[in-house]
Amino acid sequence: MIKKATREAYGEALAELGKLNKDIVVLDADLSGSTKTSVFKKEFPERHINVGIAEADLIGTAAGLATCGKTVFASTFAVFEAGRAYEQIRNTVAYPKLNVKIAPTHAGISVGEDGGSHQSIEDIALMRVIPGMIVLSPADAVETKKMVYAAAEYDGPVYIRMGRSGVPVLFDENYDFQIGVANTMKEGNDVTIAATGLMVAEALKAAEALKEEGISVRVINVGTIKPLDGETILKAAKETKFIVTAEEHSVIGGLGSAISEFLSEVYPTKVKKVGIYDKFGQSGTGAELLEKYELTAGKLISVIKENL
């Protein structure tokens, strides 16, 4: 299977967008080689600003440019952007509803060797709670590009969570992404896996393996964490026995929380969460860490079998 990092697709999408829209401006905090905003910088050096290792300035400058009619994409690593610049995101971008796209890379533990200090497992929770913030988490490179285009068209703050490692390409160019719409990738009537990010590929693997054992698994790619596609989630809750959520993020405040919160009010359903259980990451290869923290198809299979 072809693999490609979501950050690679992000850089390409920015460069394409820059040709279509002269008001696209891209900012980075001295990590353009890693975030791949360097691809845009090569094409449009006059519209790329490196603010240096100053994440609060990154967001403040982005907000200022947005007040001048620019559509701004601001990037660094997720742990620095969602964490260090949180107050600026809240007060200078979200509060006045400015047209800034907060687009970090290197989210989750698959960052690998950089270790727990650099592995953002809290960013979805932090961004979800900000009023009016759109929160997106692509499953592959194709969905990333579609999200970047959708974010550019949307007037207001958007958070796009991207990773470091190559992930399987699941979609083709005909895939239609819309903000707020979850994508049912596989039908099933025994159990539902609602997954986001790199866990979508693991969910599909688990579904294929369980099919051999006569267990029918529905797989939903929740590319938009907020606003949650309640209609698709409710349909799954009514048509399958329970829901398993899968995310490369803490189970506190992430996708699992969002789905649990929604269903508890409209249609109480058993929700089992596969994610990171109140721990920091550590150093190791991305593959080793995903195995250690049980973010795998194998874990999804065992959770489903235990609860059926």
Is 247 one of the annotated active-site residues of the chain?
no
Among 208, 194, 206, which Cα is nearest to 239's?
194
Question: Phi/psi of residue 279, each to 5°?
Answer: -135, 155
- Answer whether the bond into residue 227 is a cis peptide, omega within 30°: yes
Measured CA to CA, the distance from residue 263 to residue 268 in angstroms comes to 5
Neighbours of 134 (CB within 10 A): 23
Residues 6+ apart with CB under 8 A from 138: 6, 9, 144, 147, 160, 161, 162, 197, 223
184 three-state secondary structure: strand
Q: How far is CA 155 from CA 100, 114, 149, 160, 190, in A?
A: 9, 34, 12, 15, 39
- The active-site residue out of 55, 143, 247, 248 is 55
308 three-state secondary structure: coil
Q: For the packed helices 255-266 and 230-239, what is the interaxial angle rounded to 10 degrees? A: 70
Catalytic residue positions, numbered: 55
